Structure 1
Amino acid sequence: MEKKEWYLEYEIQYNRPGLLGDISSLLGMLAINIITINGVENSHRGMLLLCKNEEQIDRLKSVVKTMDTIKITKLRRPKLRDTLAVRHGRYIHSDVDDRKTFRFIREDLGLLVDFLAELFMKDGHKLVGIRGMPRVGKTESIVASSVCANKRWLFVSSTLLKQTIRSQLIEDEYSEDTLYIIDGIVSTRRANEKHWQLVREIMRLPATKVVEHPDIFVQESEYKMEDFDYIIELRNTEDEEITYETVEKPELSPNDGFSMFDF
Structure 2
Amino acid sequence: MKKTEWYLEYEILINRPGLLGEISSLLGMLSINIIMINGVKHARRGLLILTKDDVHIKRLKTILETMDTIQLIKLRKPKLRDRLAVRHGRYIQSDQDDRKVIRFVRDDLGILVDFMAELFKTNEHKLVGIRGMPRVGKTESVVAASVCANKRWVFVSSTLLKQTVRNQLVKGEYSPENTYIIDGIVSKHRANEKHWRLIREIMQLPAVKVIEHPDIFVQATEYTMEDFDYIIELRSHEEEEITYKDLELNQFPHDHGYM
Q: Which moved more, 1:125-134 or 1:88-97?
A: 88-97
Q: Look up the SS of the partner of 1:45 in the other structure.
A: strand
Deviations 1:221-251 (A, max 9, x none): 2211111111111122223221112425556
Partners of 1:60 and 1:101 lie apart in 2 by 33
Task: State the partner residue of 1:88.
Answer: 88
The alignment-based identity, stated in percent, is: 71
1:128 offset after TM fit, Å?
0.7
Q: Look up the SS of the partner of 2:176 in the other structure.
A: coil
Partners of 2:222 and 2:164 lie apart in 1 by 22
Q: Look up the SS of the partner of 1:40 in the other structure.
A: strand
Task: State the partner residue of 2:135.
Answer: 135
Partners of 2:62 and 2:200 lie apart in 1 by 54
Q: Which moved more, 1:233-242 or 1:30-39?
A: 233-242
**Structure 2 segments unaligned to the other structure (5+ residues):** none
1:117 aligns with 2:92: no
Conserved in 2, the CA contact under 8 Å of 1:190 and 1:250? no
Deviations 1:160-182 (A, max 9, x none): 11111111111211111111100
Q: Which moved more, 1:214-223 or 1:233-242?
A: 233-242
Matches within 5 A, 1:1-263: 1-246=1-246, 247-248=248-249
Partners of 2:220 and 2:196 lie apart in 1 by 11
Conserved in 2, the CA contact under 8 Å of 1:189 and 1:250? no
TM-score (norm: length of structure 2): 0.92
CA root-mean-square deviation: 1.5
**Structure 1 segments unaligned to the other structure (5+ residues):** 253-263
TM-score (norm: length of structure 1): 0.91
List, as ranges, runs of 4+ consecutive aligned residues in structure 1 with deviation greater than 3 Å. Answer: 248-252
User: How many residues are paired up?
Assistant: 252
Partners of 1:181 and 1:48 lie apart in 2 by 33
Partners of 1:11 and 1:181 lie apart in 2 by 41
